[in-house]
Chains A and B, each alone.
Chain A
């Protein structure tokens, strides 16, 4: 009897978690009107704002020049590109300096921090920004030439403080995990982020994000100690009531590629998860006025924890339902999370089809097959990254895994916030 109640309770919790996640994931397709509202509206031809585009680059001499060239092709007339390089990175610096010499719109800022990371680099550049709006891109991004005009229009017509454009991983055919990784981005930027914007709590993305310069300076830029400085900035800005607008157009997204190996994907995900946990513990989201908003914030930022826990519990739950003799009614309840997972699967298949249509990419039968077969394994990967993030956070390992430094001293600063 006690087992039955226990299993039923666990199953119901898992069911509601999965159901809410599904509900949010499908936000953009709820009605045709919602879908239409997620797009950029067409620019009216006028321009009112100037842009400072930050381009942090580290050991990226191979792709940097191409990215700068693409950005310079933008149709917008009033922008500058600030390339941020490290003082210990002469190759990238050389490429940046060459571009600076060629075009007056390009400037180079050198970051002299001993231990380097992206937020520190961007904070170094912030005082040098002359534009009304600061935009962030990564050195390997493919940016659409019309993007700035659309963002300009969005800022002026909505009165937004922040505009988040779409970012999309494209190389879904590279491997089984890149397929799922692409689709994750698709559902996140195409759909879920719009829900966050609407609810007034939003973890921003790492690039194609535009913030009014004064708002950014007022917020003291990015948190140099946070592993998910982008998420943190979004949470801090939306928590104090800044207006964030999200727009996704398949032909206007910034295209990126998935991490090159499973291990680097795992590391990247670990960093994000750990970053989310850090943002959770910083408690800026507690300032959100609405109870529902705080609940959404709590849930979203806790997702790594929940993933880690559910990764352990779901198999256990199924095993108990199968091997212990529970009443038929209870057995039915234990199937509820599985049913929700199945529905999610089906929507992912449809999402993959839609992804192919939107980007004019040919999705073959084998890709649908990979999506299904890869599902459980990807879940294992996510759970692994979540467990790893929790582990690292507990151990106080707080460095960017890109570098070999251990930021032990940073941990102290964060620990002060931790409730006993």
Chain B
């Protein structure tokens, strides 16, 4: 039998292990999540709670979002072998996100094709949420947080009403968050293995290819990796990670290049145009300016939960300020930096702040808030404590800690209870279901009917026999996609119905054909009330009956 000289890796000759140089010894407690029973039990219990709260009533709350419909429909197109989208893929986002969705729900979609609707396929997001929640716990432990703080981070991440609402939805951000968390977990691997860091680079690339905004988080990931690598192997580990990330990331431009769509040209879409569009989206104003759209977005988040966003920001601030003194602060440098970066990016006055922006911050807000709590608890219970401390001081410390816990609980629990109860009881999607049912039962000839709908309802109609793409049409494609407008030579007159959901009414302002279609139609059925109502409007075209319009 043979072995390397000191045979550190060969258990049969342990005596040869040299006294490893001091700097190699690991001072952190070696954590083996898989074999630590308290960790497994706590994580398992919390995971069950999160799954129940997030899963209960998942199809009916929150309101179906247009974006969910977009991604799910594109996943459907991937499953059907229609390419990356059923309309021309125009490099709006890297496609890895919905490719993953397609793979994830391949089997259920195959067994029951009609279940491919936004409401029922939200269930798949439970899996993503579950993996992410466990990764938050693992990451917290790898960043040296105590068990209770890791559990706290997981609860904050999984049970905040804001998280419950957003993580239920089929958003690319949720999937990208999972990859990012995996990258952080690998970066903070206790074994400091070269290939773990390499894997972190790959996971980071997967995150960016799922949702490109993850790009801004990479510096924080790099910092985490730097902190968790060893001086002697660091240069290999970090270059390996960066190389892996870059090479995988380059697959996207390479894909565009292979399709001849890297640079703009006449008659085809291009990656360049896609990026230009995303970078030049009209800004939504400064986030703290009460009149701006960003301010509205911020308040829509705070409406669901103030604790996680504001508490997390405060926690990040606390950790960055106490960097010099607090071990916890240094351990959580990566998440704190992530929160800082995301906060700064959100503060750009000219930037566009989408509603799902906060999703990528949620795990890191949870981690820094839990870290802040751990830091405070340490300060209250342990700091400046020595063996001669008087008993009443010790009890004073404990009393203070108890008061803080009770106060925090008293503030958070009622708020969250209300928020989460809404999430598990409210039915926000009855109008959508009713509209879908109406279009199924009342329209006699779906194959020859052309109808503008928002993306959330699109797959429902596809399953009901409408022709995907040109029969049932994503409403904005009627104005924006030349391949669709070409089939509507007479504009709105070539349509039969418009399903005017809140999204359609909101965006119609900038879409002349959609606007005209709404103006030249009358409601034949209305579901819901007020702003949230969904109207099915029949086009009043008296000149001809609009049928079978458009070539396929």
Known A34-B8, A41-B5, A41-B6; contact A342-B243, beta-carbon cutoff 8 A: yes
Using A198-B4, A328-B258 as known contacts, say yes or no to A39 and B9 having CB atoms under 8 A apart: no
> How far does the Cβ of B262 sit from chain A's closest Cβ, in whole Å?
13
**The residue from A32, A200, A354 contacting B235, defined by CB atoms under 8 A apart:** A354
Q: Is A20 an interface residue (CB 8 A)?
A: no
Q: Which residues of B contact A30 (CB under 8 A)?
A: 193-195, 233
Task: Report the minimum CB–CB distance from A112 to chain B (whole Å).
Answer: 36
Q: Contact between B5 and A39 (Cβ–Cβ < 8 Å)?
A: yes
Let me know if A35 and B232 touch, CB within 8 A: yes
B residues less than 8 Å from A39 (CB atoms):
5-6, 18
B3 and A38 contacting across the interface, CB-CB below 8 Å = no
Whether the pair A339, B247 counts as a contact (CB closer than 8 A) is: yes
A328 partner residues in chain B, CB cutoff 8 A: 255, 258-259
Encode contact with B along A245-263: 1 for CB under 8 Å, 0 otherwise. Answer: 1110000000000000000
B191 on the A face (CB < 8 A): yes
Give me the interface of A with B, judged by CB distance under 8 Å.
23, 26, 29-42, 154, 157-159, 163, 194, 197-202, 238, 241-247, 328, 331-332, 335, 339, 342-343, 346-347, 349-350, 353-354
Complex formed: what's the CA distance from A343 to B24 in Å? 26
B window 1-41: CB within 8 A of A: 1-10, 13, 15-21, 24
CB distance from A46 to the nearest CB of B (A): 16
Whether the pair A200, B259 counts as a contact (CB closer than 8 A) is no
Q: What chain A residues lie within 8 Å of B86 (beta carbons)?
A: none
Please indicate the chain A residues that have their CB under 8 angstroms from the CB of B7 in the complex.
37, 158, 198, 245
Known contacts A31-B233, A247-B5, A328-B259; decide if A37 and B17 are in contact (CB<8 Å). Answer: yes
Tell yes or no: B230 within 8 A of A by CB.
yes
Contact A29 B236 (CB under 8 A): yes
CB neighbours (8 Å) of A245 from chain B are 2-5, 7, 16
Interface of A is mostly: helix
**B1–A343 touching, CB < 8 Å:** no
Return chain B residues, CB-CB under 8 Å to A159: 13
Total residues of chain B contacting the partner, CB 8 A: 41
Q: From known contacts A36-B18, A157-B16, A158-B13, infer whether A244 and B247 are also in contact, taking CB-CB under 8 Å.
A: no
In the assembled complex, 26 residue pairs joining A and B whose CB atoms fall closer than 8 Å, in A order, are A29-B236, A30-B193, A32-B233, A34-B9, A36-B8, A36-B232, A154-B5, A157-B15, A158-B3, A158-B13, A163-B5, A194-B4, A197-B4, A198-B4, A199-B2, A200-B1, A243-B1, A243-B2, A328-B258, A328-B259, A332-B254, A343-B244, A346-B240, A347-B239, A350-B239, A353-B235
Give the chain A neighbours of B2 by CB distance below 8 A. Answer: 197-202, 238, 242-245
Q: In angstroms, how far is the closest chain B Cβ from the Cβ of A350?
A: 5
CB distance from B32 to the nearest CB of A (A): 15
Q: Which residue of A lies closest to B198 (CB)?
A: A343
- Whether A36 pairs with B235 at a CB distance below 8 angstroms is no
B243 contacts which of A31, A32, A346, A353 (Cβ < 8 Å)? A346
B243/A343 in contact, CB under 8 A = yes
* Distance of A153 Cα from B277 Cα, bound (Å): 68
Roughly how many angstroms separate A38 CA and B6 CA in the complex, as a whole number? 7
Q: A342-B247, A350-B235, A350-B239 are in contact. Are A246 and B194 (CB under 8 A)?
A: no
Task: Give the complex CA separation of A157 and B14 in angstroms.
Answer: 11
Given contacts A38-B4, A158-B7, A243-B1, contact A31 B192 (CB under 8 A): yes
Min Cβ gap A84→B in Å is 28
Nearest chain A CB to B66's CB is how many angstroms away?
29
**How distant is B269 from chain A, measured CB to nearest CB, in Å?**
15
Nearest CB on B from A199, distance (A): 8
With contacts A31-B193, A163-B5, A347-B239 known, what are 19 further pairs, Cβ within 8 A? A26-B236, A31-B194, A31-B233, A33-B9, A36-B8, A36-B20, A41-B16, A157-B16, A158-B5, A159-B13, A197-B5, A198-B10, A200-B2, A201-B2, A243-B1, A245-B16, A246-B5, A331-B258, A335-B254
Check: B251 CB closer than 8 A to any chain A CB.
yes
Instruction: Give Cα distance in the complex from A335 to B9, angstroms.
Output: 34
When C-beta atoms are compared, the residue in chain B nearest to A346 turns out to be B243
Chain A residues lying within 8 Å of B5, measured Cβ to Cβ, are: 37-41, 154, 158, 163, 197, 245-247
Chain B neighbourhood of A29, CB < 8 A: 194, 233, 236-237
Query: Most chain-B CB neighbours within 10 Å: which of A32, A33, A37, A350?
Result: A32
Shortest CB-to-CB span from B257 to chain A, Å, is 10
Residues of chain B within 8 A of A163, CB atoms compared? 5
Q: How far is the CB of B344 from chain A (nearest CB, A)?
A: 31
Beta-carbon contact of B251 and A343 below 8 Å = no
Most A CB contacts (10 A, CB to CB) among B5, B18, B235 go to B5
Partner of A198 from the list B3, B233, B255 (CB cut-off 8 Å) is B3
Q: Known: A32-B233, A158-B13, A350-B236. Is A37-B194 also a contact (CB below 8 A)?
A: no
For residue B15, which residue of chain A has the nearest CB?
Answer: A157
Contact B4 A343 (CB under 8 A): no
Which residues on the A side are within 8 Å of B13 (C-beta)? 158-159
Contacts of A346 in B (CB 8 A): 239-240, 243
* Residues of chain B contacted by A242 (CB below 8 angstroms): 2
Interface string of B244-272 (1 = CB under 8 A from A): 10010001001100110000000000000
Q: Which chain B residue has the least Cβ–Cβ distance from A354?
A: B235
Within 8 A of A (CB), among B181-200: 191-195
3 tightest A-B contacts by CB?
A37-B8, A32-B230, A41-B18
Closest approach, in angstroms, between the C-beta of A329 and any C-beta of chain B?
10
Complex Cα distance A331/B258, Å?
Answer: 8
**Least CB separation from B235: chain A residue:** A350
- Name the A residues within 8 Å of B237 (CB-CB): 29
Min CB–CB distance A325 → chain B (angstroms): 11
Residues of A within 8 A of B20 (CB): 33, 36-37
> By CB atoms of chain A within 10 A, which of B4, B18, B21 has the most?
B4
Closest-CB distance, B238 to chain A (whole angstroms): 9
User: Could you say which of B8, B16, B240 contacts A343, with CB atoms under 8 Å apart?
Assistant: B240
Q: Which A residues are CB-close (under 8 A) to B236?
A: 26, 29, 347, 350, 354
Q: Which B residues touch A353, using CB under 8 A?
A: 235
Q: How far is the CB of B77 from chain A (nearest CB, A)?
A: 16
**Residues of the B chain whose Cβ atoms lie less than 8 Å from the Cβ of A347:** 236, 239-240
Contacts of B195 in A (CB 8 A): 23, 30
Chain B residues with Cβ below 8 Å from A32 are 24, 192, 230-233
Listed residue (B1, B2, B194, B247) with the most chain A CB atoms within 10 angstroms of its CB: B2
Residues of B within 8 A of A350 (CB): 235-236, 239
Q: How far is the CA of A346 from the CA of B194 in the complex (A)?
A: 14
A197 x B191 contact (CB < 8 A) = no
In the assembled complex, the Cα of A41 lies from the Cα of B235 at a distance in Å of 24
Q: How far is the CB of A43 from chain B (nearest CB, A)?
A: 11
Q: Across the interface, do A36 and B16 meet the contact criterion of CB distance under 8 Å?
A: no
8 Å CB contact of B4 from A37, A157, A349: A37
Q: How far is the CB of A257 from chain B (nearest CB, A)?
A: 26
In angstroms, how far is the closest chain B Cβ from the Cβ of A281?
Answer: 23
Contact assessment for A31 and B239 in the assembled complex, using a CB-CB cutoff below 8 Å:
no
Contact yes or no, A158 B243, CB < 8 A: no
**Residue in chain A with minimal CB distance to B193:** A31
- Are A26 and B247 in contact, with the CB atoms below 8 A? no
How far is it, in angstroms, between the C-alpha of A346 and the C-alpha of B15 when the chains are bound?
36
Question: Within the assembled complex, what's the spacing in Å between the Cα atoms of A246 and B236?
Answer: 22
Q: Chain B residues with Cβ under 8 A from A354's Cβ?
A: 235-236
Shortest Cβ distance from B10 into A: residue: A198
Chain A proximity of B194: nearest CB distance (Å): 5
- The distance in angstroms between the C-alpha atoms of A198 and B16, with both chains bound, is 13
The answer to whether A26 and B17 have CB atoms under 8 Å apart is no
Chain B CB within 10 A, most for which of A194, A335, A346: A346
Within the assembled complex, what's the spacing in Å between the Cα atoms of A163 and B16? Answer: 13
Q: How far is the CA of A331 from the CA of B2 in the complex (A)?
A: 43
How distant is the Cα of A222 from the Cα of B1 in the complex, in angstroms?
21
- Which of B194, B195, B230: most chain A Cβ within 10 A? B194
Most buried by A among B247, B251, B254: B247
Q: Determine which residue in A29, A331, A342 has the highest number of CB atoms from chain B within 10 A of its CB, and name it.
A: A29
Point out the residues of chain A lying under 8 angstroms from B259, CB to CB: 328
Q: Are A37 and B258 in contact (CB under 8 A)?
A: no
